[in-house]
Amino acid sequence: MAKQFLDKVAFRPMEIMDLPQIEKVEKNSFSTPWPSKAFYDELMFNQFAYYTVVTYEGNVIGYCGFWLILDEAHITNIAIHPDYRGQGIGEATLNYVMDFAQKMGADKMTLEVRVSNHVAQTLYKKLGFVQQGLRKGYYTDNKEDALIMWVTLNEKEQQ
């Protein structure tokens, strides 16, 4: 990614006003996107939820959310709008969220990823995630299995 492009990418907490743009990212990223109400409920009612938006020149182009329960952060979802993929933004986003989760007290982080999503798996492995299990039929749209991946956050610092 060109440094000048990356300099225009920023991260901040998700707000209710972001939901229309988040909905666009969702619809362009997933076959079964979360409805805006799900994000609204996460922001308003889930004391364990933390959501970060990714902006480029002020426009929301992606996001990542996690739940922090005790010392474990569970990524709920992460998406970058297809127009901005392949430029290192997903990696920058995940690095930002991993650092933020650690500052909030997380020692470990986990996520599920489709067995067919090799691009995401490669990114997760690059950042230290390792496969630790399988959830059979996890995805409701096609009953695809999900790999369960984990990373110990303080080990990330040593990479």
Residue 60, strand partner residues: 55
User: Is the backbone of residue 57 left (phi > 0), alpha (psi -120 to 50) or beta?
Assistant: left
Distance (Å, whole) CA 12 – CA 55: 8
Query: What single-letter amino acid sits at 73?
Result: A
Which of 57, 96, 112, 139 is labelled catalytic?
A: 112
Predicted confidence at residue 2, as pLDDT, reads 56
Q: What is the dihedral of CA 139, 142, 145, 151, to 10 degrees?
A: -40
Low-confidence ranges of the chain (pLDDT < 70): 1-5, 155-159
Q: Write the burial class of residue 38 (CB in 10 Å: 0-12 exposed, 13-18 middle, 19+ buried).
A: middle
Which DSSP letter does residue 31 get? S
Q: Which of 88, 76, 85, 70 is nearest to 7 (CA)?
A: 88
Which of 50, 63, 124, 138 is labelled catalytic?
A: 124
β-strands 108-114, 146-152 pairing: antiparallel
Predicted confidence at residue 108, as pLDDT, reads 98
Q: How many structural domains is the chain composed of?
A: 1
Domain encompassing residue 144: 3-156
Predicted confidence at residue 159, as pLDDT, reads 47
Q: Please indicate whether residue 157 is annotated as part of the active site.
A: no
Q: Please indicate whether residue 23 is annotated as part of the active site.
A: no
What ranges make up the beta strands (E) of 18-58?
A: 49-56
CATH number at residue 120: 3.40.630.30
The C-alpha angle with vertex 127 and arms to 121 and 130, in degrees rounded to 5, equals: 60
